[in-house]
Each structure stands twice: as C-alpha cells, then as structure tokens.
Amino acid sequence: MVEQQKGARGRGVLSNRSGRYEAFTRHAFDDGWNGGGLNNIGECGSADIDGGPPPLATHLHNDKSRSIITYNKSPDVKFDRSINPYRGCEHGCVYCYARPTHTYLGHSAGLDFETEIYVKPDAARHLTWELAKPGYRPQPIALGTNTDPYQPVESKLKITRSILSVLDAHHHPVTITTKNAGLVRDLDILGSMAARKLAGVALSVTTLDRKLARSMEPRASSPGRRIDAISKAAGAGVPTVVLVAPIIPGLNDHEMEAILEQAAQAGAVAAGYILLRLPREVTDLFCEWLDGVQTNKSARVLRRLQGLRGGKLNSAKFNERMSGTGTEAGLLRHRFKVACKRLGLATVPPQLNTSAFTPPRRCDSTADKAQLSLF
C-alpha cells in the first residue's frame, strides 16, 4: 500500500496509482522533503509552501464516442439503457465503483478519475439520431448510472440539460441519479416532463454528517443541500427517490433511518439503498483512504464488510453485489423495510409513461439535417 497520509486538496482519494493497463507502475511516496508533503511532480505538481500538495486542476477532454445510449442486461438494476454525459467525475467520491472504467482510457482510477474528465458535447445530437432509428423502442433512459450528470462542470457545459431538452421534445421518459443539488436548475424541464409521467429523480444521500461527507465526497453537494434538492424537486411535482448509498458498515450504516426520515419529510416518495462495492482498483484506494483518514475505524469497517461479502471485501455476483449476504445483510434489509413502512416510502420507484414517445424525423448523419418529409 502506498505510504501516504495526504491527498491533493479538495480531492477524494489519496493517490494516483497506475491503472492496470499502463506500461509502467508509479507510486507516490514521502521522501521527507517539503514538510512531509508529496514529492512526486508527475502526480501532484510541486508542493505548497506549507508542505501540503497543491490543489489539482481539472482537465477536460472531448469524448469521441459515436453513440450515446448504453444498453445493459444486468438483473441488479431496473433499467436497460443509460446515458452518461461525462466519463470521470469531479465529485471525487472515494468509494466510487466507476473508478476502474478510467483505466480503459489510459488513466489512473485514483486522482485521474477526478481530474481528467471526458465530456460529450455532441450528446444531444447523437441522442436525436439514435431516437430516430426505425427500430428504436422507448424505455426509460437512466442518467447518472456511472458518473454524475450534475458534477461541477455541468454548470458551464449544460450537456445534461441539452439531453433533457431532446427527451422532453420527444416525450421520452428519463430517470436521473445524482449527488448534486445542481439538479434544481433543470426543474423547469423535469417538472413539465413529470406532469406527463416522463421523469423521476433520485438523490443519493450517503451521510448527514457534513464533515464525513466532505471527506468522502469532496466536491458533491453537502447533505443539507441534497435534502433541500429533494424538497424542491418534490415541490415541482417530480417524483423523487432517496438513495442511502453506499452503506458503509461501521461508518454510516447507523444513519440509515435518519436519512430516510429527513428525505421523507422533504417530500421523497420512495427509497432504496446499496451496500458499498469495491471493484478492482477501488479496493486499494478505499482501504488507503480508511487507513489515512478514518484510522480508528479502518479495521472495524473492513471486518464488517467482509462479513457482508462472504469473507471478501467485494463480490461481483448478480443479486448479491448490491446488498450482500449473511445475517447482517438480512438485518440491513429488515431495518430498511421497517423504516420505509413507518415513513410511507415506497421501495420501488414510480412507473413512467413510454406510450407518448414521438420519434424525431430521421436525420442525414452526414449532413446533419433532417430529411424532407414526403408530404
């Protein structure tokens, strides 16, 4: 494990260890200079005068994907298609299960995932093309299944908003999952869609402890702002789900009922939860963060997580990876069901309407112009 206690200011994980597809492996280390800060220019630049590493800049790259809708057949999720406007995520959640996807791009799953962000500026145009295909059959499209559609850069680029505009124009159902209160910017579109049963949103609330949230999710909205976003979305008529996710045993599992109660009071109509997942590189990155930031709780968290994962820190098995197995997993399920029943929260999201979809006119993909109608 990398011997490092500090990461870059305003970022989540503590290191930028090489991805599994890179030709060379690099590790950050403390050589005693700069007051104990990092001395690895290749990862974090030169150190601050106070000995800590400097803040890392976010770099944007254009994503070259030629399609925008991704399809899946996982039995663990309730959607079969999704759109991710961004690859990588500035929120910097230390536990993010999407981190390993950055290694496919030649980056680290560590700090690179938070700072090297790929954007899809042509997302709305590609979406229009795909919706216009003769064989397309509508089902709710999920936004935010891999990385957050309302991460900080969205406030300037408005790619998520452009996607929603296309879906709204063609009466196509959409669901959104986010940790960012920036969602409220688009309540004008979402409220209109919700009135036609075309939209639903989910706010992920990991903890109500502002300090813990800032450590685990440094650039996501504070817990209070997320609860406020639930209230505003519900007030706009948008059916809103609260996700207690991820549940980290020994760290935030005791907050489940309190989170559900605050969300219900704010207007949430349904709820869900997901147990912490640690695929591939995320295992080491999360353990490193625990040892460096939650030192007194590290052993307990890992021991309890192993109890929920059949002795391992992670399981990729369908029907198990989201909720775990064993006695404690059963207790979590029971607590969740009892709390939801008491608070009047459904455990399945509201159904959306797929019958109103009106496909775009077919487009000439080379000239980017709609074909003339026969009449």
Condensed to tens digits (0 to 9), the pLDDT of residues 3-44 reads: 334 567 789 899 987 777 676 666 655 555 544 443 333 333
List the single range of 36-40, 209-213, 258-262 with lowest mean pLDDT: 36-40
**Joined tokens for residue 222:** 């504070």
Fold type of domain 34-352: TIM Barrel (3.20.20)
Q: What strands lie across the sheet with 86-87, from one edge to the other?
A: 59-62, 116-119, 86-87
**Joined tokens for residue 314:** 């992670």
**Joined tokens for residue 286:** 């999360």
pLDDT higher than 80, residue 222:
yes
Query: Which one-letter DSSP state was computed for residue 299?
Result: H
Which 3 state secondary structure label does DSSP give 327?
Answer: helix
Which has more pLDDT, 181 or 366?
Answer: 181
**Joined tokens for residue 249:** 């045993």
Tell me what pLDDT residue 86 has.
97
Condensed to tens digits (0 to 9), the pLDDT of residues 39-90 reads: 333 333 334 434 455 678 999 999 988 889 999 887 777 889 999 999 999 9
Q: Give the number of other CB atoms < 10 A from CB of residue 21.
A: 10
Q: pTM for the full model?
A: 0.88
152 — phi, psi (to 5°)? -50, -40
Place of tokens 């196509």: 172
Question: Mean pLDDT across the chain, nearest whole number?
Answer: 88
